[in-house]
Amino acid sequence: MASEHPIESPSRRIFRIAELTRQVKALLEEELSSVWVEGEVSNAKQFTSGHIYFTLKDESAQLNAVMFRNIAATNRVPIKDGAKLRAYGGLTVYEQRGQYQLIVRHVEDAGIGDLQRKFEELKERLASEGLFDAARKRPLPLLPRTIGVVTSPTGAVIRDILHVLGRRFPDRHIILAPVLVQGPEAAGQIARSIEYFNTRTDIDVLIVGRGGGSLEDLWAFNEEAVARAVFHSRIPVISAVGHETDFTICDFVADVRAPTPSAAAEIVVRPKADFEEALRVLRRRLTQSLRTQALELRNRLTRAAGSYVFREPQNLLNRFRDQIKRDADLLRRSLEFALAQRQQRLDEAGLKLGHIASLHMQTTRHQIERAAAALRALGPNAVLARGYSITLAPDGSPLLDAESIQTGAPIHTLLAHGKLISTVTAKERSENP
């Protein structure tokens, strides 16, 4: 016989939601009224009531927890995002939401959570590289014309920024780079948007940020890629991540940290009314300065008009005439003295030139006479006068070798005085070289 289908069973019981939730709550409070759990804290927040709400998580699960005011008042272990705690308490169900949670009665410090450890390690490494140095941080422009914003296009951040800027200085130009602000792809999108804005020439300042959240929610702004994009940005960067108590790596690298995105909009530009008031103050100062100068000039003119010189114009003309005469006499004497000096230098130069020319001519004459005497001593007439003669061939060339003339040929012999004409009858070769 086939078993009865539960849907068709006449004995089936239908629970009301509240009834079932109460049963689950009772089971949890009975079976797990005293447990120890260990995990990393996130989303920690203390309300004005004094209660502290937070989440404990590990690699694959999370558990909501609450520490009520009476326990929180005596607790000495900080419950903050990133802390690793051991919590003792009992499980129950928050019926309105159907969520189970741990009612914490005692906590112990279990060290630093994984995310917090990663945060501290990256912070220390980047600090050692100089990414946080105050000396490299740049001042913001006084009145930026175009403001780049890197944030989610759908969150409250962009609305808050637009609202504040519209109220303070409505005609500023704002360009949004829409990005994810949490999740595995968020850091890459944020870094690329910062790099994109730096390829433009019309961006004066950047606001990079998102609203508040847990350490995991803000983690994209703790990624090294975002830190280095901010560090290499030539455009000044305002980091506006989370709430005033939230700190990210992006905050430390940025040129300015704003406690909230709305505060970033207030930091980036002063109210237009402030600039208008400053202009009014400067206008008043300039007007007063011009009036003071005009009054001083008028007083000087009055004093000058009442002086002795202006009261007696002829005295002024006489002074000018006497001064011109003195200047003319001084100029004439200076010219006469300069001309006399030049004439004296010309006379001295003429004497020196004449002396130099006389010495040069005498030296040249002696050189010519010595050269003429040398030429005469070497000339043929001087040789002939010493008893030598010169024998010429029929063509008039001097005979140097007996073999160069034929027997019977006519020859001419030049003497110191006259010449002899003869015929070769015989010739004899000399043995001397």
Which pLDDT value is given to residue 249? 93
SS in 3 state form for 384-404? HHCCCCEEECCCCCECCCHHH
Which pLDDT value is given to residue 127? 93
Provide the β-strand partners of residue 421. 412
C-beta of residue 21 within 8 angstroms of C-beta of residue 93? yes
Domain locations along the chain: 13-112, 118-270, 310-378, 385-423
Looking at 33-47, 134-148, 304-318, 368-382, which range is the least confident one?
304-318
What burial letters (b/e) apply to 162-174, b meaning 16+ CB within 10 Å? Answer: eebbeebbeebeb
DSSP helix/strand/coil, 30: helix
pLDDT reading at 5 higher than 60:
no
H helices within 36-135, ranges in order? 69-72, 114-128
| pLDDT tens digit sequence for 259-318 | 898 899 888 887 665 666 667 778 888 888 888 888 888 888 777 766 665 656 666 677
Please give the backbone phi and psi of residue 66, each rounded to the nearest 5 degrees, phi first. Answer: -145, 135
Q: Looking at per-residue confidence, does 43 or 10 come out higher?
A: 43
Q: Which of 2-16, 75-89, 227-241, 359-373 has the highest mean pLDDT?
A: 227-241
C-beta of residue 83 within 8 angstroms of C-beta of residue 112? yes
Which pLDDT value is given to residue 4? 56
Residue 130, phi-psi category: left (phi > 0), alpha (psi -120 to 50), beta (remainder):
left
DSSP assignment of 232-290: H-SS-EEEEESSTT---HHHHHSSEE-SSHHHHHHHHS--HHHHHHHHHHHHHHHHHHH
Residue 115 CB coordination number (10 Å): 21
How much is the average pLDDT of 404-432? 81
Give dist(CA 332, CA 326) in Å, integer. Answer: 10
Give dist(CA 83, CA 40) in Å, integer. Answer: 6
Give dist(CA 30, CA 198) in Å, integer. Answer: 61
Q: What is the average pLDDT score of the chain?
A: 84
pLDDT reading at 84 higher than 90:
no
Give dist(CA 336, CA 402) in Å, integer. Answer: 86
| pLDDT tens digit sequence for 167-201 | 887 878 899 999 999 988 999 999 999 999 999 99
Which pLDDT value is given to residue 276? 61
| pLDDT tens digit sequence for 55-65 | 999 888 999 99
C-beta of residue 384 within 8 angstroms of C-beta of residue 416? yes
Which pLDDT value is given to residue 112? 66
Q: Whole-prediction pTM value?
A: 0.50
Residue 174 in tokens: 């704002």
Give dist(CA 251, CA 273) in Å, integer. Answer: 29
Q: Which fold has domain 13-112?
A: OB fold (Dihydrolipoamide Acetyltransferase, E2P) (2.40.50)
Give dist(CA 92, CA 98) in Å, integer. Answer: 10
Q: Which fold has domain 118-270?
A: Rossmann fold (3.40.50)
